[in-house]
Amino acid sequence: MIEMKDVWKAYPNNVKAINGISIRIKKGEFVYVVGPSGAGKSTFIKLMYREEKPTKGDIFIDEINLAKLKERAIPSLRRRMGVVFQDFKLLPTLTVFENVAFALEVIEENPASIKRKVMDVLEIVKLKNKARSLPHELSGGEQQRVAIARAVVNKPEVLIADEPTGNLDPDTAWEIMDILDDINHRGTTVVMATHNKDIVNTIKKRVVAIEGGRVVRDEVRGSYGYEA
């Protein structure tokens, strides 16, 4: 359901971040993307949700070719993909409920269905009791759980996460992994770039290692393979 065919990405400053990647990720898979700093992991992830366009090659999300996608089609793509970042990116003046609802309101849902969908997803991330809180009233782990709720409220086929545990202490990082694992078991494909060696070596999943903008290793139940 996600397929890259000989994808290259050079930035305008001529840094060659991705140098010929071909990969297939099936529906329902959980994939860790690992590699040294500067290897191209974030670029790989950004290409997948069309934050960046490839210089060459094709990227398919189901039948949609991101390399050929028109700007006006990006919002509808984003509703099929949830994205979670290291720094949460919550809107600071909105409550937990409003942050999550924001993703739905743009597609004109009615208020009763918004409420039901937001509360259902807050239940999955175990934050129903914080629905009225503002982001600054929450711990880092709770903020990341809100960001995950916002990313999955539209029931996307794919959840993309760029170092989702990067700003969190080890215990909180495990909680976030439990939630991502749960979301994956509910049928969402998860692609997660990470530097968290313990998590990758403990909760075994497919591991795609990137170095110098190329896939250097792709293992079914892989290990981190680098010194943390």
Q: Which helix (H) or strand (E) holds 36?
A: none
Which is closer to ligand ATP, CB of 175 or CB of 211? Answer: 211
Query: Smallest distance from the beta carbon of 162 to ligand ATP, in angstroms?
Result: 8
Q: How far is the CB of 11 from ligand ATP (least distance, A)?
A: 3
What is the spatial order of strands in the sheet that 2-10 belongs to? 16-25, 2-10, 56-61, 64-65
**∠27-29-30 over CA atoms, to 5°?**
145
Residue number, 9 or 145, with CB nearest to ligand ATP: 9
State the minimum distance, in angstroms, from the CB of residue 84 to ligand ATP: 15
Nearer to ligand ATP, 14 or 129 (CB): 14
Buried b or exposed e, range 171-185, using 16+ CB within 10 angstroms? ebbbbbbebbeebbe
Q: Annotate 54-91 with three-state secondary structure.
A: CCEEEEEECCEEHHHCCHHHHHHHHHHEEEEECCCCCC
- Judged by the rule CB under 6 A, the positions of this chain that interact with ligand ATP are 11, 13, 15, 17, 35, 37-43
**Closest approach of ligand ATP to the CB of residue 91, in Å:** 24
Q: What's the rounded Cα separation, in Å, for the pair 67 and 207?
A: 25
Nearer to ligand ATP by C-beta: 38 or 75?
A: 38
**Closest approach of Cβ 46 to ligand ATP, in Å?**
7
User: Would you say 210 and 216 are in contact if contact means Cβ atoms under 8 Å apart?
Assistant: yes
Is the Cβ of residue 41 or residue 150 nearer to ligand ATP in the bound state?
A: 41
Cβ nearer to ligand ATP, comparing 51 with 98 = 51
Helix (H) or strand (E) holding 141: helix 140-152
Nearest approach, Cβ of residue 223 and ligand ATP (Å): 18
